[in-house]
Amino acid sequence: MGLDWRSRMTEISFSNVVIVAAVAFAAPLALGLIRKLRLPAVVLEIVLGIAVGPSGLGWVKSDLPVQVLALLELSFSPRFFVYPLC
């Protein structure tokens, strides 16, 4: 007989998504605690994302859950609705 459907499924890990969520939560929190660091939260999120991503420390890999999260962020971003109107 053919292969069982369970043997064709791939393992999906959400550890990379947890790290991305922790960075997204920690950046504004750190800026709130360190008031002298006058920096937009998005700048710190980008810097931390580069640091923990494949180009930096390599803690986060771009696997399927991270790609889905990125696609959802892109599709539901308010900028997505404003730019086509300009």
Q: Residue 86's pLDDT is what?
A: 46
Domain that holds residue 67: 5-85
One-letter-per-residue 3-state SS of the chain:
CCCCHHHHCCCCCCHHHHHHHHHHHHHHHHHHHCCCCCCCHHHHHHHHHHHHCCCCCCCCCCCHHHHHHHHHHHHCCHHHHHHHHC
Count the domains in the chain: 1
Say if residue 80's pLDDT is above 70: no
pTM of the predicted structure, to 2 decimals: 0.67
Cα–Cα separations (whole angstroms), residue 76 to 1, 3, 49, 66, 86:
44, 38, 20, 15, 18
Binned at pLDDT 50, 70 and 90, residue 45 comes out as confident
